[in-house]
């Protein structure tokens, strides 16, 4: 695939590594020859200072707002808390609706960790194999998804990854799937990451 635009959708309370890990992998993929551009985005302009605060206090300045990407990556974070992160996003409904809109327009959608709960709320996981962080597997099972306890699950235009560091393996798999094993292997070597688990799907 050529000229791939990848957007990683940030929101208050997202888990840092869920987004930054895949972002770094994709950017390294570009440097290794993949024809892609990765951007950190929000649904809309945020606070007065333009920063998004992640679950462990990291404050990030996004590149802009959500566009019409070829690949949309949704991080997790905060599902197990009462009032933050993914839980607040699902309760609000705006981000799940935007994810559904981008999927309907032809984007491939991927989630990391409890970002799968946003995809479930968007209706993207109905009847599909999917995974998430182990703390949310029961909740995912209560949705219409078919729970698969694997590190990365590829169901074509919807992909899900397990907890936190699985996002790195997800992004490496996306590089391999779209641009070839050589690119993925070069990036894994560059970041000194030993890929874990087979991809389901």
Q: CA Rg, the chain, in Å?
A: 15
Q: Which residue in 33, 41, 31, 45 sits closest to 74, CA to CA?
A: 41
Whether the CA torsion 145, 154, 55, 107 is positive or negative: it is negative
113 is catalytic: yes
Report d(CA 62, CA 50) in Å as an integer: 8
66, 113, 152, 184: the catalytic one is 113
Q: What are phi and psi for residue 39, nearest 5 degrees?
A: -135, 145
Q: Which residue in 38, 40, 20 sits closest to 30, CA to CA?
A: 38
C-alpha distances in Å from residue 175, one per residue of 29, 68, 96, 184: 7, 20, 25, 5
Residues that are catalytic: 113
């Amino acid at each position: 695939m050529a000229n791939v635009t990848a957007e990683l959708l940030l929101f208050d309370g997202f888990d840092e590594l869920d987004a930054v890990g895949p972002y770094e992998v994709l950017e390294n993929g570009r440097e290794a020859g993949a024809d892609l551009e990765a951007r950190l985005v929000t649904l809309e302009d945020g606070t007065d200072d333009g920063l998004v605060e992640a679950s462990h206090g990291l404050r990030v300045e996004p590149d802009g707002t959500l566009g019409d990407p070829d690949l949309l990556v949704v991080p997790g974070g905060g599902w197990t808390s009462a009032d933050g992160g993914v839980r607040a996003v699902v309760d609000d409904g705006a981000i799940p609706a935007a994810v559904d809109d981008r999927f309907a327009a032809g984007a491939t959608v991927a989630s990391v960790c409890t970002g799968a709960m946003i995809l479930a709320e968007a209706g993207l996981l109905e009847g599909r194999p999917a995974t998430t962080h182990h703390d949310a597997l029961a909740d995912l099972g209560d949705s219409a998804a078919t729970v698969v306890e694997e590190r990365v699950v590829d169901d074509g235009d919807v992909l899900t990854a397990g907890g936190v560091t699985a996002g790195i393996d997800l992004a490496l798999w996306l590089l391999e799937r779209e641009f070839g094993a050589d690119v993925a292997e070069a990036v894994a070597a560059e970041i000194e990451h030993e890929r874990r688990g087979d991809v389901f799907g």
